[in-house]
Amino acid sequence: MKKLLLVLLTLLSLSSCKEQKIPKNESYKYIYSNLTDEKSKKYVKDLMEKSSLGKNNIERFFKQVDFFNSNIDKTLLASKDYQKSNQIPEYDVDKMQDSIFNKYPEFAGVNCRITTFGLVSDKIQIKNLEKSNLSAIEIDNSSFKNPPVPTLEGSEIEKFNKFYSAIKTDNTGDSKIHLEKIKNFWKENGINFPKSDKFSIISVYVFSSLDENDNELFIGHTGILFTLDDNRLMLVEKLAFTSPYQAVVFENKKDLYDYLMKMYDFSSETYPAKPLIFENDNLFED
């Protein structure tokens, strides 16, 4: 009997140590998690560690995740982790915002740019840190002053401001013009992306027009993309300052591209520039 009990305990122990498997997408476009339980967090943490992201950066990321999730009503997040869906998840952002601001009225929060850069700040090289254009990231910078949860600090902030600087452009639907502006900005400032087969940086450049003579491109959304063992893709992102964290699994690049375009394509006849999506410094296309 003792031997049998020992065998059972050993089997249970081995099964509990097994790597968590994410369900197959099957006929669904997305599988997503808000990283609310230990299993889903452990999966993403293991993925980040295997991808050689910095230990301190990973720890900071999960402090940010826990801070957000612990300060809002859990019913506002996905009812279960790795939820299957064909639709982009809809969240009650107003309620989430009220929950955070009622407790921390002076804190803008952590957004996609702070989240992503916090994970790869030590991997990105920038030679010229002078004359950053902060027009699109002034609110981001307010989150670095006495935050209730670690954000960015010291030299990271300098690099952040340069990397996310707005870029002057023309009000045109010609994507080649915008592409050239972005590439020139990277070249002129010596911006080099990390070269890794484990992860990449997804950047969605969107168009902004303050007036007819002041048109800019800036990174309106960003996240870290990982390739899973079965070749599916996982995008780890923070949707906005007062919107949740997501780990979203896609079957292929087309589904990821369509997801991002549906979320961030605000082009119109007046402002015809469509978003440009990059994987590191390469144009990301479906």
pTM: 0.91
Q: Say what the pLDDT of residue 20 is.
A: 57
Q: Rounded CA gap, 230 and 251, in Å? A: 10
pLDDT at 22: 87
CA distance 34 to 5: 37
Are 89 and 235 within 8 A, CB to CB? no
Question: pLDDT tens digits for 7-66?
Answer: 444 444 443 344 457 888 888 989 999 999 999 999 999 999 999 999 999 999 999 999
Residue, of 128 and 15, whose pLDDT is higher: 128
| Cross-strand bridge partners of residue 31 | 84, 249
pLDDT value of residue 11: 41
Nearest to 20 by CA among 247, 224, 202, 239: 247
35: left (phi over 0), alpha (psi -120 to 50) or beta: left
Condensed to tens digits (0 to 9), the pLDDT of residues 58-102 reads 999 999 999 999 999 999 999 888 899 998 889 999 999 999 999
- Kindly report, residue by residue over 234-273, the tens digit of the pLDDT: 999 999 999 999 999 999 999 999 999 999 999 999 889 9
The helix (run of H) or strand (run of E) holding residue 223 is strand 214-227
DSSP 226-244: EE-TTS-EEEEEE-STTS-
Among 43, 41, 32, 47, which residue's Cα sits nearest to residue 226? 47
Residue 212 banded pLDDT, cuts 50, 70, 90:
low
